[in-house]
Amino acid sequence: MARSRLTNTTDDLITDSGATLWSIVRGEQLEFPVTLPFVEDVTDNYTYEAVVVEAANEDGQTIPPTSVQTPTPVVSVLGIRVPTNRGAWQSNMAYNREELATDEGLTYRLIRGAGRISAVQPKNDPDWMLADLNTIYLQFPKTLGSNWTLQPKVGSPTYGFFELRVTEPSDPIFSRTWKPVRGMVELLFSPTYSVDD
């Protein structure tokens, strides 16, 4: 039974490995896997939200800002890809790249192909890789930061504050919400950004 003074905190009951820094060259379009150890299967109707809020960047800055752009920061909602789980693997079913299937108690992810049908079990097929059911994919668009007040310069990146929120499906008793990944997005100067794609 806890009898210590309230201000004498010695135990952190909710810990993490620290804030993240996503360092992205302006104009890059990238997808990153994020494993959620507290979620058993990401396809079970969880709600996922990832946001980047423009920081109060200053011209010529060499260190990250510590506040949000005022009076109105640009808020960017990132895409989140939740893999499609096709259930038990079947030799006569067509699978597409990035889809999941379960075989002999293990989950696999198809790494290449579209409409692919094969009688070779995933464990023996090089086009399938072992996968986790608790991984989502954050999508950073190439337009991220393009409408910020300041743009990155050589030797002076710009920043935004990042957070991922995960909410359980509706529960009549209590739906939990986690914020497992927080940190900053650093946008670096790109010589090719001004060239049309």
Domain ranges of the chain: 21-82+135-188, 84-130
Q: Measured in whole angstroms, how far is the alpha carbon of residue 143 from the centre of its chain? A: 17
Q: Note the pLDDT of residue 7.
A: 63
Name the residue among 184, 189, 188, 190 with its Cα closest to residue 68: 184
Residue holding tokens 């920081």?
55
Q: How far is residue 95's CA from residue 88's CA, in Å, rounded to a whole number?
A: 12
Question: If you average pLDDT over residues 116-121, what whole number do you get?
Answer: 95
- Look at residue 10 in the predicted model and tell me its pLDDT: 65
Report the alpha-carbon distance of residue 53 to residue 159 in Å, rounded. 9
Query: Residue 2 above 60 pLDDT?
Result: no
Per-residue pLDDT at 160 exceeds 70: yes
Give percent of the chain above pLDDT 90. 84
Residue 124 phi/psi, 5-degree rounding, is -110, 5
pLDDT higher than threshold 60 for residue 1: no
Residue type, 119: A
Q: In this predicted structure, what is the pLDDT of residue 194?
A: 74
- When pLDDT is averaged across residues 127-134 and rounded to a whole number, the result is 96
Report pTM: 0.88
For the stretch 15-38, pLDDT in tens is: 777 789 999 999 999 999 999 999
* CA terminus-to-terminus distance, the chain: 63
Which among 64, 79, 83, 55 is positioned nearest to 143, based on CA atoms?
Answer: 79
Residues with Cβ within 8 Å of residue 107, at least 6 apart in sequence: 85, 100, 101, 130, 131, 132, 133
Model pLDDT for residues 40-54, shown as the tens digit of each residue: 999 889 999 999 999
Query: Is the per-residue pLDDT at 13 higher than 90?
Result: no
Token pair 């993490």 in the structure block, residue: 16
- The pLDDT value given to residue 197: 58
Do 154 and 41 meet the contact criterion of CB atoms below 8 Å apart? no
What are 51-109's pLDDT values in tens digits?
999 999 999 998 999 999 999 999 999 999 999 999 999 999 999 999 999 999 999 99
* 153 secondary structure, DSSP code: B
Q: How far apart are CA 89 and CA 25, in angstroms?
A: 39
Closest CA to 145 of 20, 18, 19, 22: 22
